[in-house]
Chains A and B, each alone.
Chain A
């Protein structure tokens, strides 16, 4: 246990500083997203791009500072499983939206024709 602490406390266990940085960045990104939408003063497409980007950045921030995922060898398998999962999710969400959008388009003239 003591060997574990001395060798790896920086990487796998995090530090108070790491958690504080992660928290401040998450807070800033959350405030940015809510601020834009609650101000009511936005262009819909631009606002969507900004809040989705802020969410992706915040997910990366929390994975790095809270879950301590990085490119070190101790995290290699965790990251590989994550990457595999992201590929599955891309197929799942992208595929569902693609199929359902096409189904919706194909249903349109029929429902209007009758």
Chain B
């Protein structure tokens, strides 16, 4: 019953389709609701950062720590990854399995470069004594950027599983629905990153 109420506005999409696809549409909507709660999680971390951003405790400031050229390359890797994921989905809808897998490999490789750069940045900061325990500013920095990085890492594991499912199960309705949710998740993480590079890195250097 609830399922019918939820999908009522989408009647044009589902009225002629079987029950499985209606279920898949609801699953994608449910995942979107989860992403919105994730948005609130990130909003909490952004608020914490905004409150603590000048609490350096005598430690280094953003201007001294951040290398914008490095962050720009990270940003490009994630943006290109989000873009490549779009093409993976387009291949999926054209039912071109091999092309979809290839685009997913490109997406994952770019995502992995992003995570690699971030881990390298964190390791560098911590080795110089500027870890999360250095100041309130650095705690909130590691909290926010680390949570985003953790999301991207989970997305990479999910993407690897989906490549396997595409190869071994083919383009079934269930696999398509899972890939739609993964795609939402991936684009969402790039949108969160816009906030991260603007508020933390760029405004931190200003």
Residues of A within 8 A of B (CB): 1, 3-5, 7-9, 12-16, 19, 22-23, 26-27, 30, 33-34, 37-38, 42, 44, 47-48, 51-52, 54-55, 58-59, 62-63, 66-67, 73-74, 76-78, 81-82, 84-85, 88-89, 92-93, 96-97, 100
Asked whether, in the complex, the Cβ of A97 is within 8 Å of the Cβ of B72, the reply is no
Which size bracket describes the interface of B in this complex?
35 or more
The answer to whether B13 has its CB under 8 Å from any CB of chain A is: yes
Asked whether, in the complex, the Cβ of B191 is within 8 Å of the Cβ of A59, the reply is yes
Set of chain A residues within 8 Å of B197, measured between Cβ atoms: 30, 33
The answer to whether B79 has its CB under 8 Å from any CB of chain A is: yes
Set of chain B residues within 8 Å of A96, measured between Cβ atoms: 47-48, 50-51
What number of residue pairs across chains A and B have CB atoms under 8 A from each other?
132
Q: Which of B10, B37, B46, B194 contacts A73 (CB 8 A)?
A: B10
Q: Taking CB as reference atom, which chain A residue is nearest B184?
A: A67
* Chain A interface, >50% SS class: helix
Q: What's the Cα separation between A7 and B44 when bound, in Å?
A: 40
Q: Taking CB as reference atom, which chain A residue is nearest B6?
A: A77
Of B81-89, B118-126, B143-151, the one touching chain A: B81-89
